[in-house]
């Protein structure tokens, strides 16, 4: 009789994916430094990324993801492209994929600067959504190590 009165537990609200991506990118900008690592890459990759950014700006996340996937076929180990793919996964609500891509980008990346901070914040948010608060805390604890101190000049 009591079970008839009970209600299923309320689902937690889904996180604001667009706001999450904006926060991830803002954190990355905060950790930008004069030390940046950029590899030389095929111009076709830049074409796909330009198209992806335009699609994202129009709110066409699936089309942007398709362009980024094309870029990743050419440059599968490019940390900046993997991170961008992770951010698009956040925007589409695919938190598991976002965490996997961010971790892969971090593992392949320079572990300094804005990209590093974006990797770890994306991973932390993905882990939080998946219920791994301890893992999220560990990822966030590493973010400060992404800061590159300024060069001391005499």
Kindly report, residue by residue over 103-137, the tens digit of the pLDDT. 999 999 989 999 999 999 999 999 999 999 999 99
Task: Give the model confidence (pLDDT) of 73-103 as tens digits.
Answer: 999 999 999 999 999 999 999 999 999 999 9
Closest to 121 in 3D by CA, of 105, 136, 101: 136
The span from the CA of 57 to the CA of 127, in Å, is 26
DSSP run (H or E) holding 100: helix 95-108
Q: String of b and e for 57-75 (b: at least 16 CB within 10 Å)?
A: eeeebeebbebbebbbeeb
Q: What is the four-CA torsion angle of 135, 82, 80, 76, rounded to 10 degrees?
A: 130
CA 35 from chain center: how many Å?
20
pLDDT, mean over the chain: 88
In this prediction the pTM is 0.85
The structural domains of the chain, ordered by start, are 43-146 (1.25.40.10)
């Amino acid at each position: 009789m009591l079970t008839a009165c009970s209600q299923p537990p309320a689902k937690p609200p889904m996180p604001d994916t667009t706001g999450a991506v904006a926060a991830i990118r803002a954190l990355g900008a905060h950790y930008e430094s004069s030390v940046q690592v950029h590899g030389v890459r095929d111009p076709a990759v830049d074409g796909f990324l330009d198209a992806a950014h335009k699609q994202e700006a129009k709110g066409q996340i699936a089309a942007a993801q398709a362009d980024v996937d094309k870029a990743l076929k050419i440059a599968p180990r490019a940390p900046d492209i993997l991170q961008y793919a992770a951010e698009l996964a956040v925007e589409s609500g695919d938190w598991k994929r976002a965490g996997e891509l961010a971790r892969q980008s971090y593992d392949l990346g320079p572990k300094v600067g804005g990209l590093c901070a974006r990797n770890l914040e994306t991973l932390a948010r993905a882990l939080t959504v998946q219920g791994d608060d301890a893992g999220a805390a560990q990822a966030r604890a590493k973010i400060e190590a992404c800061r590159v101190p300024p060069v001391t000049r005499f």
